[in-house]
């Protein structure tokens, strides 16, 4: 029996690798993609420029951007057998499960699958970035008994996704807001899903396997699944009057207010601060029921009640206002987490490339943490096996 001390749980505070892709500064509330502050990227860059920044390690020239856009458009359409397979799936399947299944299936139709080179992994990554959006939109159409809509080559990634989902071209402002949401969700260092992708990539499994693992991880309600829960919570609250009693009731029961709290940020998430005014503006413009004021009051009351009970502050995270924004875009609530993946696929791909092919020290290696066995022994020694009839 060997004794092993537990250093920490959940790997919090443990640095497991080096990365050149992004930096999350929790105390300062800063998010940086390859040296650039997220605020500036959200204001000035398109999602396609972010894909280039993450995958090719620099902002593109005009020609490089055109080439990337061309490649993305060329790969948007799903292989026909994948559409046929989606048509056989149960209509009430969880969309994140469909994404995992769809990505696993797409692997078989990728001509680069068995090529282990960096270039082949890059090619597959770009196809995945291009196709994940199509997969989400196609699934929503299929589950509603409608044929998938062909991608529109005149539209950029964000606008094309909204078009494939609804069948009508979004106005310029809505397309831009969605593009900004994709920019904001693209990358966030070693969060749970990215770590899942890197952990699988560290075994030299192909990128489709790594992305399937990441999708599974993202689906959880403590991670990407939180944006769905935020909207469900707002719908349940329903009115400004219900906010305060809802907060007290949730905290009395020891449950969590979704969209508050973060494992790294110890201040408001910079992405939430960018998303909130966009959600407000779009709601005002579309003139439907206003969820933004309810969310705003919930943030205020939730923070105050948390502070009163725990004596510490809690902050708003990215999922809080992205939920309100997507709802104002009339996107079905259960697609909010798949949309997170439509963006984060770019960050995951960058991390898979780094995990597999980084040449700078310290080089990545197969992840193999230790665990402390706290299970059963028979006295000081191992148990002796008792045959079935004698048990
Ligand atoms: C994201 C999250 C997992 C971060 O976790 P963390 O910083 O490690 O904090 P913990 O989960 O350990 O919680 C610490 C304490 O704060 C409480 N807490 C954390 N987030 C809370 C929330 N959103 N609402 C109410 N209480 C919360 C926990 O219950 C815990 O209380 P305890 O010490 O009495 O047990 C957590 O804040 C959370 O579950 N938030 C809601 C889900 C969410 O929005 N996820 C998206 C993240 S981007």
Percent of the chain with pLDDT over 90: 88
Which of the four pLDDT bands, split at 50, 70 and 90, describes residue 173?
Answer: very high
Under 8 Å between Cβ of 215 and 375: no
- 373 in a domain, yes or no? no
**Distance from Cα 368 to the centre of ligand 1, integer Å:** 27
Mean pLDDT (the chain) is 95
- 19 in a domain, yes or no? no
- 374 in a domain, yes or no? no
- 199 in a domain, yes or no? yes
Q: What is the DSSP letter of 25?
A: E
pLDDT in tens, 18-38: 999 999 999 999 999 999 999
* Owning domain of residue 92: 38-222+334-357
262, 268, 269, 351: the active-site residue: 262
Atom of ligand 1 nearest to the CA of 320: 44
Give the C-alpha distances (Å, rounded to integers) separating 226 from 94, 233, 248, 267. 15, 10, 20, 18
Q: Residue 372 pLDDT more than 90?
A: no
pLDDT confidence of residue 3: 67
Q: What is the mean pLDDT of residues 143-155?
A: 97
- Given its phi and psi angles, is residue 278 left (phi above 0), alpha (psi -120 to 50 degrees) or beta? alpha
Report the distance separating Cα 126 and Cα 81, nearest Å: 20
- Ligand 1 near 184 CB (within 6 A): no
Q: What is the CA radius of gyration of the chain?
A: 22
- 368 in a domain, yes or no? no
Half-sphere exposure of 91 (CA within 13 A, CB side): 6
- 380 in a domain, yes or no? no
Phi, psi torsion values for 61, nearest 5 degrees: -75, 170
Q: Residue 350 pLDDT more than 70?
A: yes
* Residue 316 tokens, joined: 């708003």
CB count within 10 Å of CB 383 equals 9
The verdict on 280 and 184 lying in the same domain is no
Domain CATH for 297: 1.10.230.10
Which of the four pLDDT bands, split at 50, 70 and 90, describes residue 1?
Answer: low
Worst-scoring range by mean pLDDT, 113-127, 179-193, 298-312, 373-387? 373-387
The verdict on 340 and 249 lying in the same domain is no
- Ligand 1 near 258 CB (within 6 A): yes
pLDDT confidence of residue 370: 87
CB count within 10 Å of CB 168 equals 9
How many domains does the chain fold into? 2
- Ligand 1 near 259 CB (within 6 A): yes
The verdict on 131 and 170 lying in the same domain is yes
Give the C-alpha distances (Å, rounded to integers) separating 387 from 286, 376, 390, 391. 71, 18, 6, 7
Q: What is the DSSP letter of 315?
A: -
Report the distance separating Cα 316 and Cα 265, nearest Å: 9
Which residue from 261, 262, 315, 319 has its CB within 8 A of the most atoms of ligand 1, so it is best to mutate? 261
CB count within 10 Å of CB 146 equals 11
Under 8 Å between Cβ of 210 and 198: yes
* Residue 37 tokens, joined: 């502050």
- Ligand 1 near 230 CB (within 6 A): no
The verdict on 311 and 192 lying in the same domain is no
Q: State the DSSP H helix or E strand holding residue 302, giving kind and residue range, or none if neither.
A: helix 292-310
Q: In terms of Cα–Cα distance, which of 302, 315, 264 is closest to 12? A: 264
Q: Residue 361 pLDDT more than 80?
A: no
The verdict on 321 and 349 lying in the same domain is no
**Distance from Cα 303 to the centre of ligand 1, integer Å:** 12
**Distance from Cα 259 to the centre of ligand 1, integer Å:** 9
Domain CATH for 147: 1.10.580.10
Q: What is the mean pLDDT of residues 73-82?
A: 97
Q: What is the DSSP letter of 381?
A: B
Active site annotation includes 262: yes
The verdict on 279 and 159 lying in the same domain is no
- 384 in a domain, yes or no? no
Which of the four pLDDT bands, split at 50, 70 and 90, describes residue 2?
Answer: low
The verdict on 160 and 191 lying in the same domain is yes
Q: Which of 327, 346, 370 is the last residue of a domain?
A: 327
Q: Residue 328 pLDDT more than 80?
A: yes
- Ligand 1 near 269 CB (within 6 A): no
Q: What is the DSSP letter of 103?
A: H
- Ligand 1 near 181 CB (within 6 A): no
The verdict on 231 and 216 lying in the same domain is no
The verdict on 69 and 135 lying in the same domain is yes
Under 8 Å between Cβ of 86 and 138: yes
Beta bridge partners, 37, equal 32
- 350 in a domain, yes or no? yes
185, 188, 319, 351: the active-site residue: 319
- Ligand 1 near 271 CB (within 6 A): no
The verdict on 338 and 237 lying in the same domain is no
The verdict on 57 and 174 lying in the same domain is yes
* Residue 108 tokens, joined: 């078989």
The verdict on 76 and 147 lying in the same domain is yes
Q: What is the mean pLDDT of residues 301-324?
A: 96
Q: Residue 288 pLDDT more than 80?
A: no
């Amino acid at each position: 029996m060997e004794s092993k001390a537990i250093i920490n749980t959940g790997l919090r505070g443990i640095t497991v690798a080096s990365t050149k892709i992004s930096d999350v500064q929790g105390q300062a509330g800063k998010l940086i993609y390859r040296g650039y502050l997220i605020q500036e990227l959200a204001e000035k860059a398109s999602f396609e420029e972010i894909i280039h920044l993450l995958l090719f390690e620099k902002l593109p020239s005009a020609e490089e951007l055109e080439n990337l856009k061309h490649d993305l458009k060329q790969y948007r359409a799903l292989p026909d057998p994948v559409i046929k397979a989606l048509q056989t799936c149960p209509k009430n399947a969880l969309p994140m499960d469909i994404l995992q299944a769809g990505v696993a299936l797409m692997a078989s139709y990728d001509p680069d699958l068995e090529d282990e080179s960096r270039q082949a992994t890059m090619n597959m990554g770009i196809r995945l970035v291009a196709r994940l959006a199509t997969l989400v939109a196609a699934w929503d159409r299929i589950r509603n008994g409608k044929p998938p809509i062909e991608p529109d080559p005149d539209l950029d990634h964000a606008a094309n996704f909204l078009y494939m989902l609804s069948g009508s071209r979004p106005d310029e402002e809505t397309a831009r807001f969605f593009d900004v949401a994709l920019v904001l969700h693209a990358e966030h260092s070693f969060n749970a899903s990215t770590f899942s992708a890197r952990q699988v990539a560290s075994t030299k499994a192909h990128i489709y396997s790594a992305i399937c693992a990441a999708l599974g991880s993202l689906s959880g309600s403590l991670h990407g699944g939180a944006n769905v829960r935020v909207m469900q919570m707002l719908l349940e609250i329903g009115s400004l009057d219900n906010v305060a009693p809802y907060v007290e009731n949730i905290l009395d029961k020891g449950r969590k207010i979704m969209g508050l709290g973060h494992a790294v940020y110890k201040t408001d998430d910079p992405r939430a601060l960018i998303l909130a005014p966009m959600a407000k503006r779009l709601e005002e413009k579309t003139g439907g029921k206003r969820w933004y004021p309810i969310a705003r009051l919930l943030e205020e009351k939730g923070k105050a009640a948390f502070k009163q009970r725990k004596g510490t502050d809690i902050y708003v995270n990215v999922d809080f206002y992205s939920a309100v924004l997507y709802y104002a875009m009339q996107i079905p609530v259960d697609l909010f987490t798949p949309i997170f993946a439509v963006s984060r696929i770019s960050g995951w791909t960058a991390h898979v490339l780094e995990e597999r092919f980084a040449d700078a020290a310290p080089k990545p290696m197969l992840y193999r943490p230790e665990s402390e066995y706290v299970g059963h022994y028979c006295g000081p020694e191992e148990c002796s096996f008792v045959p079935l009839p004698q048990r």
